[in-house]
Chains A and B, each alone.
Chain A
């Protein structure tokens, strides 16, 4: 009997161990997927909360073709650093352009006086801080930084998958 009980407890331990390993692997995978495909939130200052933007509005604002929100408020876009993956994903989704095409686009507008490119900030945290403190600012951040906070308002959520 003792031997049977010992074998049973080993089997239970093995079963539990397998279960734990599976849970760890699953959580890691979910976490990985979440990081790779994080949605992008286009955020504005809370004074403009309630403003809902279309993709065409976001494109026009970040391509220097529009300086107003639908509510008539002046808006100043802020960009992220060129090395940030979110920047490449944002412009690919919003404007269908890669980083070189965006650089070419802005070189044509900037050096002909048509428009100046958005001011560049280091990352999503810097953009969120800027938008929270500047009533005219608009930027794009990792969606997780924009949810459950009153410091910024989400004007458009861009799914990345």
Chain B
């Protein structure tokens, strides 16, 4: 939904809503509030970008998860937000929230831009841009003051598609005692290009749906959500490759190689390709170059019509001086080469006057689903082109397509757990100092989010001052 259409819808909505409800009553009041945090992080990990072991290079197009390194980094933990709420009357209001983040070069972005109609105490309707409630803390993700950590657990909060232009409808039920129940549904289009910061290929969400149910009182909240996003893989060149393969199936392998040093032509057998030339000092025989084209692989490269689904549960409570929270989530991606993953965390803290120490254990684990491996119906004398560029193999080695797929899946496989020990100090009602030490443990012989060598562990610390006003 383009911004212009959103504005037209907002204007129409306001006009109709105010006319129906209150005639021409117009008594606007503006409330200006804001939030911000400034901080720094550092780690002893040597690689914090995604590192492709095949091409031996950092994939600069793949966004980092933590955006930190061995130097002290300030940008990732620094941002400021300003919010304007114009109340037309007690039913209608208009909200706009601007955020400038260090991780985005301090560009001014519009995170929230919506008109709200509080139909009554039970029904609430928003039209415009909102941050969708995928996870428990998603709606106030950037309000660092609102939670106990200096950063939310990264094993859980690693998705980036948060802004949606659409409609949010919420209904509230009053239950027994002070308990209430909210049902919230959000439908809309993603705002611009929102990619998932996951170890798998980046994913662009076009449109989505989120449904959340929450039960809460003044001390406890339990909630669950379902989210679905429709989109495509984020590598534009792969979309172009899909278009080419329709004309020339052999081109899919040629275009994938970096640098492109193999020439492919249709082979002697219909539906096959053959290597006719390879620009390499290694010995090569053209007869070994019979390659089976794989339209399934081309679909991977196309990456269109990919669906992501998320299921989450979460809780938080206050019991005397104790505070606790936790969430669990399962993510499925329809693309055959994307792995689903499971994530969770548990936090326990104790509020002692102005100081709140806390400890958190968080986990992220991809599901290596062998049933997703494609089968090839054509007899395979398949040569993995990548093997030509390996340092150990001077001649092409036969390899089934199945093995190549397994190798690709292994690249995306990732598991990591973290123990976070932190403390929050509320030096004033609107200002909090936070410090977290994290011990990161990649699992299952994977590199984790920080590209850690197998068997290694890393440490990561963050210090932040957060304010609201």
Contact = CB atoms under 8 A, between A and B. Distances in A.
Interface in B84-138: 85, 87, 90, 95, 97, 112, 114, 116, 118, 121, 126, 130-131
Contacts of B97: 111
Interface string A67-84: 110000010100000100
A101 B429 CA distance: 9
Nearest to A110: B33
B146 interface: yes
A68 B91 CA distance: 12
Contacts of B118: 67
A59 B178 contact: yes
B8 to A, nearest CB: 21
Given A95-B218, A112-B139, A113-B116, A74 B90 contact: yes
A100 B426 contact: yes
Interface residues of A, number: 27
B468 interface: yes
User: What range describes how many residues of B lie at the interface?
Assistant: 35 or more
Given A74-B90, A113-B130, A116-B85, A107 B114 contact: no
A99 interface: yes
Contacts, number: 70
B37 to A, nearest CB: 12
Interface in B208-244: 218-219
A111 B83 contact: yes
B468 A103 contact: yes
Interface in A29-75: 56, 59-60, 63, 65-68, 74
B258 interface: no
B364 interface: no
B81 interface: yes
Given A107-B143, A108-B140, A113-B95, A68 B33 contact: no
B354 interface: yes
B143 A67 contact: no
B218 A111 contact: no
Contact of B146 (A56, A102, A108): A108
B161 interface: no
Interface in A116-149: 116
B131 A112 contact: yes
Contact of A76 (B90, B219, B429): B90
Nearest to B138: A112
B423 to A, nearest CB: 14
A65 B122 CA distance: 9
A63 B177 CA distance: 16
A68 B121 contact: yes
Name B's interface SS: strand
Contacts of B426: 100
Contacts of B330: none
Contacts of B31: 116
B336 interface: no
B430 interface: yes
* Residue among B83, B178, B218, B426 with most chain A CB within 10 A: B218
Contacts of A4: none
B263 to A, nearest CB: 56
B145 interface: yes
A148 to B, nearest CB: 32
Task: Identify the interface centre among B114, B145, B429: most chain A CB within 10 Å of its CB.
Answer: B429
A60 B35 CA distance: 25
A110 B429 CA distance: 16
B318 to A, nearest CB: 8
Contacts of A102: 429
A60 to B, nearest CB: 8
Contacts of A113: 85, 95, 112, 114, 116, 126, 130
B207 interface: no
Contacts of A56: 177-178
Interface string B416-429: 00000000001001
Contacts of B318: 96, 101
Contacts of A110: 33, 83
Interface of B: 31, 33, 35, 81, 83, 85, 87, 90, 95, 97, 112, 114, 116, 118, 121, 126, 130-131, 139-140, 143, 145-146, 172, 177-178, 180, 218-219, 318, 354, 426, 429-430, 432, 468
Given A59-B218, A102-B429, A113-B95, 18 more contacts: A63-B218, A65-B180, A67-B90, A67-B121, A96-B318, A99-B429, A100-B354, A103-B145, A104-B145, A104-B146, A107-B468, A108-B139, A111-B97, A111-B468, A113-B114, A116-B31, A116-B33, A116-B85
Ranked 4 nearest A-B pairs via Cβ: A112-B139, A107-B146, A100-B426, A107-B468
Interface of A: 56, 59-60, 63, 65-68, 74, 76, 82, 95-97, 99-104, 107-108, 110-113, 116
